[in-house]
Structure 1
Amino acid sequence: MNIIAWLLLGLLAGAIAKAIYPGHQGGGILATIVLGVLGAFVGGSLYTLLTTGTLQLAATGLSIPGLIIAVIGAIIAIFLWGLMTRRAV
């Protein structure tokens, strides 16, 4: 059940982040889920760092605050992915 919850959270967070982030990101539903799950880990880790002062790999849970943190993390993941895949002109 935990994996299904992470996939659902990833799909929701990735879709919301893609809707919020300006520009065209491309990718299908699989890319949306992957960016959302990565966002949950990035957001959860940053939240843990800010609240406890320690850096650990943590994911958010399937809740409204967890979804907000996952969306913020997914926006960061989309931004970083854009930086890595941008072609030099």
Structure 2
Amino acid sequence: MGIITMIVIGLIAGAIARLLIPGRQHIGWLATIVVGIVGSYVGGTLGSLVFAPHVFSVHPPVHHLFLGSIVGAVIVLLIFNMFRARR
């Protein structure tokens, strides 16, 4: 059940990140899920570093706040777009 939850949260966070970034991203729904899942880990890690500097751990994205997942997904999507623009 955790994998399904991670996929759903990844899809929602990735879709919201795509809506927040101006312009059109030419990625499919599977890449949106990956951006959301990776963004959840990025947001959770950044949240651990900023809000609890003495506790550095990486947990599955379902344990992090949803806002952190969206912020992380935006960061990952911006980095993805930067690399894609260089091609």
Cα-Cα RMSD: 1.8
Q: Work out the CA distance in 1 between the residues paired with 2:80 and 2:47.
A: 20
**3-state SS in 1 of match to 2:59:** coil
Query: % of aligned pairs identical?
Result: 35
State the TM-score, normalizing by the size of structure 1: 0.85
After superposing the two structures, state which structure 1 stretch, 24-33 or 51-60, moved more: 51-60
CA shift digits 1:12-49 (9 cap, x unpaired): 00011101111111111101100000110000110011
Structure 2 spans left out of the alignment, 5+ residues:
none
Corresponding residue SS for 2:62: coil
Residues 7 and 37, structure 1, Cα contact 8 Å, conserved in 2:
yes
CA distance in 1, matches of 2:12, 2:51: 24
Could you tell me whether the CA contact under 8 Å between 2:18 and 2:74 is conserved in 1? Answer: yes
Structure 1 unaligned blocks of 5 or more: none
In structure 2, distance between residues paired with 1:49 and 1:83: 24
> After TM superposition, which residue ranges in structure 1, 4 or more long, deviate above 6 angstroms?
none
Deviates more, 1:52-61 or 1:78-87: 52-61
2:20 alignment partner AA: I
| Preserved contact between residue 14 and residue 71 of structure 1 (Cα < 8 Å) | yes
- 1:69 paired residue number: 68
**Structure 2 partner of 1:84:** 83
SS at match of 1:35: helix
C-alpha separation between the residues in 2 aligned to 1:10 and 1:44?
13
8 A Cα contact 1:17 1:74, kept in partner = yes
Secondary structure at 1:34 match in 2: helix
